[in-house]
Structure 1
Amino acid sequence: MRLLFTFCCLFIAAGAYAQQTIRGTVLDAQSREPLEQALVQYGNASVTTNKQGVFEISGSAISHITVSFIGYQPQQVMLGPQQRTVLVQLQRGAPNLGDVVVNSAAPQQVLHIISRLDLNTEPVKSAQEVLRKVPGLFIAQHQGGGKAEQLFLRGFDLDHGTDINISADGIPVNMVSHAHGQGYADLHFIIPELVKDIDYGKGPYYVGYGNLATAGYVNLSTINSAPQNTLKAEGGRFDTYRVFGMMNLVSAKQQEQGTYALAAGEYQYSNGPFVLPQHFNRINLFAKYGTQLNTRNQLSIMASTLSSSWNATGQVPERAVTEKLIDRFGYIDSIEGGNTHRTNVSVSLNTQLSDHVYWDNQVYYTRYDFKLFSNFTFYATDTINGDRIRQQEGRNLFGYNSRLHKQVSTTAGAYDAVYGAGMRLDKTNGSSLSHMYNRDSLLAYAQYGDITESNEWLYTDQSFKTGNWLFNAGLRADALQFAYLDRISNSRLPSQSKATLSPKVNVQYTFSNSWQLYIKAGKGFHSNDTRAVVMHQGTGILPAAYGSDLGVVWKPAPHLIINAALWYLYLQQEFVYAGDDGTIEPAGRTRRTGIDFSARYQLCKWLFADANLNAARPRSIDAPKDGNRIPLAPTLTSTGGISWHFSNGISGGLRYRYMHNRPANENNSIVAHGYTVTDFSCSYTRRCYEIGIAIENLLNVQWNEAQFDTVSRLKGEAAPLEDLNFTPGNPFNARLKLAVFF
C-alpha cells in the first residue's frame, strides 16, 4: 500500500512537472511598443497577444515557440525546460502572407490582419485616405477640403458620420448634435504619418462602441515614437504643397526603459482645381509623452491642435454646366467656405493589477470651434438676397474611459473578460443656423441656442475559447440626457433622457489553420440631434439597429486570404435633423442586406494584390415600392490594386475605386453617377532620404465626387428646379515628395 501511494505521488508530481506554463511579451524591437494580436504558435496550438503584447501558454514539454506579426520578421524562440517567462523583440521586415494563420484566438483577428497588411503594403498618404483603408468605406469631399468628408458604408449614406462611430486614441471624433449634422466626424486633425493601426468593425456587434455604431466603427491609434526623425516636403498642381516633420525627443536608451516623447507637425496649402481659388490651409501640431511610473503603471499624455480655413465652390447644378453658364469647376456663389479649430488633450494610465488583470483609465478634453458658409439652393427661397447660410458652434467636450481586462486559462479553455465604463459630456455655445447676406452680414437666425448632451455607459464583454470554438457575448447599457436653451425665444425646452440596453453575440468555429466560420448578431443605436429630441418631447430618441453577419475566413493557398460575409441590418424609425435647412423629418424604418468580399494575395515576395467588393440592397420599409429607394445609398462598390516592394528601396502601388450608379432620390428619377478612379504612387527609399511621386486620377477621368438631388433656383430663373447638384472630383494631379531621415 505504501509503495502504491509513493508511486501515485511520483506520477502526479511528474505530470505537474511536465505541465509547463510560459508567460511572454512581444515588442517592436525598435520602438519597444507592445504588439497586439501577434501570433504565438507552439506545437499544434496558437494564441495571440493582448493589448500589452502579453501572452500565456500552457503545455507539456514546450521546447520552442514561433512568433509572427504582419510587417515583422517571424522569430523562433527556444525554451528551456524550467523557463517560465520570455521576451520577444520582433524586427520590422517585409510583410509575408505566408506567416498568417487562421486561428480562433480573437474574434477580430482577420480584420486586424487585413488592416495591418494594407497599412504595410500601401501606407496612408493623406488624412482622407485613413478611412479608405476600411474595405467598403467610401468618402466624398464637397467643401474645399476643410469640411468633414461625406461617408458611405454598407448601403448607408452616412452623411458626415451619422451611423458610424469614429475615434482616435480613445477620443471620439464624432460630434453629436453638431451644427452641420448628427455625428459630424472631421478627421483632419490626424497627421497620416502618425497612424499606427486602423481598427474597424462593420455592424452593431462590438460592445465597446455605443452611440452611432450601427453601420460600424473605426478606431485609429497613433504611434508612440517615430521610426526615424523625418522632415518631408511635398508639392504638386494647383499650388498644392505640404511640409511635415516628426522627431523623437528622448534617447534610444530612455525608450528601452519605457519612456517615449514624440513631437510632430504639418502645414498644407492648396488652391485646388476650381475657378474660385480655395486658399485652403491647414496646420496640425501633435505631441505625445509616456513613461513607466513603476513596474505596474504606465502614464501617457497626448495633445494635438488643428487650425484650418478654406474657400469652396460647393455643389453646382448640372444644368448650369450643361447650359454653359459656368465651367465644370466654376461656382455660383463665392461666399462658400469656412474655418475650424480643434484642440485635444488626453491623459491615460495603464495599470497591471496582477499577471492576468489590466486596468486602463483615460480622461480627455476637446475644444472645438466650427464655422461654415454654404448656399445649396441659391435663390430658391430668397430671390433678392439669396439663400446663403452660416452654421456655427463652439464646443467643450469632456470624457472618461475605463476598461478592466481579465484573462484566465483553465484546462477547459481560455476565458477573457472585459468590463468597461465611461461618459462624455458635450456642451455647445451658440450653435446656430443663420441666413446671411454675405459672410459678415446677418439677415436672420433660423436656429440659435446652447446644447448640453451627456452619455454614460457600462458594458461587459465575455469571451471563452475552447478547442476550435470561440464564444463571445456582451451587454452594454447607455443612458443619455438632452437639454437645449433656445436663445431666439430665450426659453429652455424641457430636457429629455433615455436609457437603452444593447446585447451582442459572436460565435466562430475554426476548422483548421486555413478555414473559419463565424456568425455575429447584435443591437446598436443612433441618438438623434438634441434639438430634434426636445422639440418632439423625447419621441424616437434612441432608434435601435438590429443586425447579423454570417461570414467565412478562408486561406485556400499559402499566400491568399479571403474574407466574405452575408449581412442584414434593420433600423427603426428615427427623426433626422437636416442641418442644411434646420428642418426635422422622420426617416421611417429601413432594411439593408448585402455581401462583403475581401481578398489579399501575395503573388511573390515583392508583389501584392488586393480586392474588395461590396454589394447592398438598401430599402425604406414604410414607403411604397416605387418610392422606397434610400437617396445616395451605395448599392455596389469596389476597391483594389497592386503594390510592390523591392529590396532595393523601390515601392509603389496602382489602385482603383469604383462606385456604381445609385438613386439620388426616393423614386430613382434622378441618378447619382457612378465612377472609376485610378491612383498611382511610387517612391525610392534609402537610409537617409526618400523621393516619390503620387498621382491622383491617373487616367484623368471626369467624375462627380459629391452629388445631391436639390431643388434650387439660379438668378434669372422663373421658378426653382429639381436637379442633380454636384462637386466635381479632382482631375489628374501629381505630387512630388522629398523626405530626409535623421
Structure 2
Amino acid sequence: MKYFMIVLFHVVYSQVCAQEARIKGTVVQAENHIPILYAYVQLVNANNQISYTDVEGRFEFNALPAGTYYLSIHSLGHESIRDTLQLKTSETLFVTYELQESIIEIPEIEITARNEVAFTTINSIDFKLRPINTTQDLLRMVPGLFIAQHAGGGKAEQLFLRGFDVDHGTDVAISVDNMPVNMVSHAHGQGYADLHFVIPETVDNIQFNKGCFQANTGDFNTAGAVKFQTKNFIPENKVKIEAGRFNTYRALLLLNLFPAKDSVERKHSLYVASEAFYSKGFFENPQHFNRFNVFVKYHGILSRNTFLTASLSTFGSRWDASGQIPQRAVNDGSIGWFGSIDNSEGGNTSRSNANIQLTTEAGTLGTWINQVFWSNYAFSLFSNFTFYKEDPTHGDAIHQYENRNMFGYTTSLKRDYMAAGITVKTNIGGGYRGDVIDNIGLAHVERRVFLNDVKKGSIHENNLNGFMDASLLLSARLTFNAGLRYDYFLFSYKSSIEDSTSASRGQGVLSPKANIYYKLTHAVQLYLSGGYGFHSNDARVSVYKTNQSSLPRAKSADLGTNLKVGNKLFVNMALWYMYLESEYVYVGDDGLLELSGSTRRYGIDMSFRYQILKWLFADMDLNLAKPRYIDLPKGENYVPLAPPITSTGGLSVKQNNWSASLRYRFLGKRAAVEDNSIIASGYFIMDAVANYQWRMFQFGITAENIFNQKWREAQFATESQLKNETVPVTEIHFTPGTPFYIKGTIAVCF
C-alpha cells in the first residue's frame, strides 16, 4: 500500500494537465445571500461531472473545452436551478446562483459515485427538521451516537458508538471549526471531549463518519469522527429566553456587529453570540449547574481568491453533583432514586479559544488552507466512586485537576484537475499539535478538603502529522479514493512527587486508507471502505510501559449502500468490522495502569429517512453490534458497557411557520462485566418539541421523557463499601436519568 501511494501521487503531480477552460461558481440563499454548503452541482453534458459546494458556497469545473454547457443545481430545502452557459477557449467563467427556500423534497436527492452522499443527505434532512437547543442535541444528530451525563451536567458526556463505550471521547475524534476538542492525557480520561463551550445556535452543519477511513483525521478516530462547523454568517439578530422545570433558565443573544448593508453583501461578517444557563436540577441535593459562554466570529472575503475566518470564545461552568449511587442503597431505602451517598461531588471548568483560518485560491496549485489555533483550559472535578472502600475514616473522594495550553497549526492543499482523461481530486497536508499541562494531578480529599496527593506532575505532549489523499473519478459510476497518514508523538511526563517516574518517549504510526464508491443505478450506490486508525494513550502510560504501543491500532472495514427506495425513502446501510489492538490504559480515577486486551467488533448500521407527505417525515436509525474480547474464554469475553443495540427515530412535521417532532431513544441492556453476570439495564425514552413563528417572534415548547420513565442514564459495575458495611460489594452504580421535563422558549428576531 505504501509503495502504491508513492507511485500514485508521483504520477498525479508529475503530469501536465492541459486545462482549456474553467467554470467557477458560488451558490447562495436568495433571501440573505448566505453561502449554501453541499449544494449538488452537475454539468449535464460533460460526462455528467458533479461538484459539491464548500463552506463558501463555491464549486469548480476544470479542463473544459469551449462549447455550450447545461448546469443543474440542487440543494435540499431549496428550489432547483438549471442554466445554460457558453464557454470560450481558455476562459474562466465566474457565475453566482441564488436558490429560493422551499420545502424539503427527498425525491430530489441525487445518488452519485461520490463519498458525500450519505452524510450530506442525512445531515441536510436532520438539520432542517430537528431543532437544536443544547450540546446534547448536537451530538444526537450523529446517527448511532448515544450520550450519557453522570456528574451534575458540567462534565463531558459519556459517548457510545458502534459497540464502543467511548468513555468521554477516547474513540471518537471531535472538532469544532477544525480545532480539536478531545484532550490528550486528560486528568479524568484520555480523549476527554467537553463540548459545552459550543453555543448550539452558532452551529451551521455537522460532518460525521464512522470507522477510520479519512486521511485528514488522526488521533481518536477509531469508532468515528464528528466535525462541527460554526456559522460564518447569521441571517438575523436574535434574543432568546428559555425557562423550564427544576428552576432551569437560559438566555441567548445573537448579534450582528456589522451594518446591515455590508452584511447583505456578504463581503464581511462579524457577530457575537452569548449564552447564560442555570439549573437547580432534579436531584435531592441541588446541582446548581451554571454556565456562561461568549463567542465572536469574523469572516471576510479579502479578495476574489482570499478568505479569512477568525474566532474568539470563552466559557466557564460550575456544578455540584450527586454522583453514581449504588443500587443496594436505593433498594434498602437508605437514599431515594435521586439521592446521593456523597453530596460533595461536583466541579468547575473553563476553556478559552482563538482560531484563525486563511483560505487562498492559489491558481493552478489549488486551494491552500492554513490554520492556527490556541486553547487555554482548566479543569477541576471532585468524585467519590467507592465511598469508604479504601479509607473507612475519611472516605475515598478524589480531586482530579489540570491546567493546560493547547496550540497547533494545520495546512492543506486541495487540487482538482484532469489527468489522462480522469478527474483527480487531491488533498495533501500536515499539522502540529502541542499540549503543555504544567499542573495535572489526582488528590485524596474529604468533602473537597485536601488530604494527600496520589499523582501530581506535568505533561508535555507533541504530535506532528502529515497526510496524502487522492480521489479518482474513474467514470460517472466509479470513484476510487486512497489515503495515507503518518503521526509522530513525543510524550513527556515529570512527576512532582516521584522523581523516578519522570521520562519521555517518542513513537510514530502509519495509517493507510482506501474507499471505493460505485453507482450501480440511478437509485443505488455501493461502497467498500477499509483503513487503519488509532488513539493515543495517556502520556503516563507511554513513559511507564515502553514495551507497549502508545498508539494502539484500529483496523476497520465497511461494506455499505446508499439508496433511494421509490421516490420518498432514503436508506444508508453498512456492514462493518473493527479490530482494536491490546493497550494499556491510564485510569485517572485511581492513578493506576489497567491492561485491556484486544477486541473485535462487528455489526450493522441502518438509517432511514422517509417523506410520508410533503410536510410529514419519519426517520429511524438502528445500530447492532457484537463487541468481544479476543483473548478471553467464550462467555467471559464481553466488553463492559458496550451496547449491542441502539436506536433512535421519530416523526417530524414542517409546514409554513410551525414545526413539531416526536422522538424516541432506545438503548438495549448490556454486560457491565466481562462474564455478563452483572447487567446494565436499557431504556426507552420519548421526547417531543413544537415551534411556531409569528412575524418576528418564535415560540417553542420542549418536553423530555414525556412518559416520566424511571431510567438509569449512566451505569457502571463498581466495587464500593458504604459507611455501615464491613466488606465491599460489586454491583451496578448509576446516575438516574431526567424525569419528565418541560421548558418553554420565546425568541425575538430582528
TM-score by length of 2: 0.94
The answer to which of 61-70 and 442-451 deviates more is: 61-70
Give, in whole Å, the separation in 2 of the partners of 1:31 and 1:715: 63
Q: Which of 692, 708, 722 matches 2:730?
A: 722
Say if 2:699 and 2:746, in contact at 8 Å, map to a contact too.
yes
Say if 1:496 and 1:538, in contact at 8 Å, map to a contact too.
no
Q: Which of 60, 64, 75 matches 1:69?
A: 75
In the TM superposition, residue 295 of structure 1 has moved relative to its aligned partner by 2.5
In the TM superposition, residue 453 of structure 1 has moved relative to its aligned partner by 0.5
Q: Which of 705, 709, 729 matches 1:701?
A: 709
Say if 2:323 and 2:343, in contact at 8 Å, map to a contact too.
no
Q: Deviations over 1:31-79 (max 9, x none)?
A: 5444332111343725123424222174785453221112322222343
Give, in whole Å, the separation in 2 of the partners of 1:46 and 1:609: 32
Say if 1:95 and 1:121, in contact at 8 Å, map to a contact too.
no
Say if 2:41 and 2:59, in contact at 8 Å, map to a contact too.
no
Give, in whole Å, the separation in 1 of the partners of 2:693 and 2:547: 58
SS of the residue 1:626 aligns to: coil
Question: Which consecutive segments of 4 or more residues in structure 1 shift more than 6 A?
Answer: none
Alignment match, 2:174:
166
The answer to which of 725-734 and 602-611 deviates more is: 602-611
Gaps of 5+ in 2: 1-19
SS of the residue 1:129 aligns to: helix
Give, in whole Å, the separation in 2 of the partners of 1:555 and 1:355: 37
Instruction: Determine if the alignment matches structure 1 residue 567 to structure 2 residue 576.
Output: yes
The answer to which of 120-129 and 314-323 deviates more is: 120-129
Alignment match, 1:113:
121
Q: Which of 407, 413, 428 matches 1:398?
A: 407
Alignment match, 1:190:
198
Give, in whole Å, the separation in 1 of the partners of 2:658 and 2:650: 17
Q: Deviations over 1:541-596 (max 9, x none)?
A: 11111010000111121121101000000011011111111111110110000000
SS of the residue 2:303 aligns to: coil
Say if 1:66 and 1:77, in contact at 8 Å, map to a contact too.
yes
Q: Which of 421, 440, 443 matches 1:412?
A: 421
Give, in whole Å, the separation in 1 of the partners of 2:308 and 2:94: 24
Say if 2:645 and 2:668, in contact at 8 Å, map to a contact too.
yes
Instruction: Determine if the alignment matches structure 1 residue 552 to structure 2 residue 561.
Output: yes
Instruction: Determine if the alignment matches structure 1 residue 456 to structure 2 residue 464.
Output: yes
Q: Which of 28, 45, 54 matches 2:59?
A: 54
Alignment match, 2:4:
none
SS of the residue 2:139 aligns to: helix
Give, in whole Å, the separation in 2 of the partners of 1:36 and 1:646: 23
Instruction: Determine if the alignment matches structure 1 residue 466 to structure 2 residue 510.
Output: no
Give the counterpart letter for 1:443 in structure 2: L
Instruction: Determine if the alignment matches structure 1 residue 690 to structure 2 residue 698.
Output: yes
The answer to which of 725-734 and 507-516 deviates more is: 507-516
Give, in whole Å, the separation in 1 of the partners of 2:746 and 2:507: 53
Give the counterpart letter for 2:37 in structure 1: E
Q: Which of 597, 615, 619 matches 2:606?
A: 597
Q: Deviations over 1:286-311 (max 9, x none)?
A: 00012222222221110111100000
Say if 2:41 and 2:53, in contact at 8 Å, map to a contact too.
no
Give the counterpart letter for 1:26 in structure 2: V
The answer to which of 406-415 and 512-521 deviates more is: 406-415
Alignment match, 1:216:
224
Change (3 A) 1:344 1:559: same
Q: Which of 74, 85, 89 matches 2:94?
A: 85
SS of the residue 2:127 aligns to: helix
Instruction: Determine if the alignment matches structure 1 residue 350 to structure 2 residue 347.
Output: no
Give the counterpart letter for 2:39 in structure 1: A
Give, in whole Å, the separation in 2 of the partners of 1:559 and 1:90: 22
Say if 1:494 and 1:537, in contact at 8 Å, map to a contact too.
no
The answer to which of 212-221 and 60-69 deviates more is: 60-69
Matches within 5 A, 1:345-494: 345-354=354-363, 357-409=366-418, 412-439=421-448, 441-467=449-475, 468-490=477-499, 493-494=502-503
Give, in whole Å, the separation in 2 of the partners of 1:20 and 1:98: 33
Give, in whole Å, the separation in 2 of the partners of 1:34 and 1:415: 25
SS of the residue 1:185 aligns to: coil
Give, in whole Å, the separation in 2 of the partners of 1:578 and 1:351: 44
Give, in whole Å, the separation in 1 of the partners of 2:21 and 2:548: 59
Give, in whole Å, the separation in 1 of the partners of 2:618 and 2:40: 23
Alignment match, 1:640:
649
Alignment match, 1:268:
277
Give, in whole Å, the separation in 1 of the partners of 2:266 and 2:736: 52
Give, in whole Å, the separation in 1 of the partners of 2:76 and 2:198: 23
Give, in whole Å, the separation in 2 of the partners of 1:610 and 1:412: 41
Give, in whole Å, the separation in 1 of the partners of 2:698 and 2:312: 28
Give the counterpart letter for 1:71 in structure 2: G
Give, in whole Å, the separation in 1 of the partners of 2:117 and 2:515: 13
Identity %: 44
Give, in whole Å, the separation in 1 of the partners of 2:281 and 2:399: 23
Give, in whole Å, the separation in 2 of the partners of 1:39 and 1:258: 23
Give the counterpart letter for 1:675 in structure 2: Y
Alignment match, 1:9:
none
Give, in whole Å, the separation in 2 of the partners of 1:535 and 1:492: 7
Q: Deviations over 1:473-525 (max 9, x none)?
A: 00001000000010012456221000111000000110222111000000011
Alignment match, 1:710:
718
Give the counterpart letter for 2:652 in structure 1: S
Matches within 5 A, 1:494-643: 494-537=503-546, 539-643=548-652
Say if 1:47 and 1:55, in contact at 8 Å, map to a contact too.
no
Say if 2:473 and 2:480, in contact at 8 Å, map to a contact too.
yes
Give the counterpart letter for 2:380 in structure 1: K
Alignment match, 1:38:
39
Give, in whole Å, the separation in 2 of the partners of 1:242 and 1:132: 20
Give, in whole Å, the separation in 2 of the partners of 1:693 and 1:264: 22
SS of the residue 1:722 aligns to: strand
Gaps of 5+ in 1: 1-18
Give, in whole Å, the separation in 2 of the partners of 1:729 and 1:239: 17
Change (3 A) 1:176 1:457: same
Say if 1:165 and 1:211, in contact at 8 Å, map to a contact too.
yes
